[in-house]
Amino acid sequence: MLIKEIYKKNPKTVSSSATIEEVIDSLIKNDINGLIVVNDNGVVKGVVSLQDIAAATIPRQFKNNIRMAAAMYKKGFFTEMCQGLMHKTVATVMRKEFVAVGLEDNIMAVTADFLKNDLYIVPVIEDKKLLGVVTRTEIKHAIAYGMRSMHK
């Protein structure tokens, strides 16, 4: 199965100068978990996902030590961390190094990238033009399709 068979056209994008609050609002409004970050000319500069924003709410020293994070609980701390993020720009949390795919790429390679790099959204780019995205939803639909199209 190729990317051209499963990708989602008309991807949601955001400027790197948008605030994290604007990104969260867009994620909720559009019921998605990631956006493609573009510059004023529509060139892809990165990706931002709920995971990237959530990671920014956790102090660095807690990220690899869940017990320490639990022990350091303070009422209102999570809210303080979220409020500290809301006016920061997407550029502060977006992934600048990202995986991109083309229409002729194989679904197996993309699925392996999703697993290896814990991805939520991958831009589909041809000739430097953003055509769409592959998200976990498209992978899920491709798996379902693969299960149902068994040859008897």
124 beta partners: 101, 132
User: Percentage of residues in the chain with pLDDT exceeding 90?
Assistant: 55
Side chain identity, residue 97: E
CATH number for position 39: 3.10.580.10
- Quick one: average pLDDT of 39-54? 91
Asked if pLDDT for residue 100 goes beyond 70, the answer is yes
In angstroms, rounded to a whole number, what is the distance separating the alpha carbons of residues 68 and 83? 22
The residue segments making up the domain with residue 95 are 3-148
User: Percentage of residues in the chain with pLDDT exceeding 70?
Assistant: 89
Q: How confident is the model at residue 57 (pLDDT cuts 50, 70, 90)?
A: confident
What is the per-residue pLDDT across 1-46, written as a single tens digit (0 to 9) for each? 999 999 999 999 999 899 999 999 999 999 999 999 999 888 999 9
Mean pLDDT of the chain: 88
Q: How confident is the model at residue 52 (pLDDT cuts 50, 70, 90)?
A: very high
The whole-model pTM stands at 0.84
- Write phi, then psi, for 75 (nearest 5 degrees): -55, 130
Domains in the chain, number? 1
Asked if pLDDT for residue 86 goes beyond 80, the answer is yes
What pLDDT, on a 0 to 100 scale, did the predictor assign at position 74? 73
HEC assignment per residue over the chain: CEHHHCCEECCCEEECCCEHHHHHHHHHHHCCCEEEEECCCCCEEEEEEHHHHHHHCCCHHHCCCHHHHHHCCCCCHHHHHHHHHCCCEHHHCCECCCCCECCCCEHHHHHHHHHHHCCCEEEEEECCEEEEEEEHHHHHHHHHHHHHCCCC
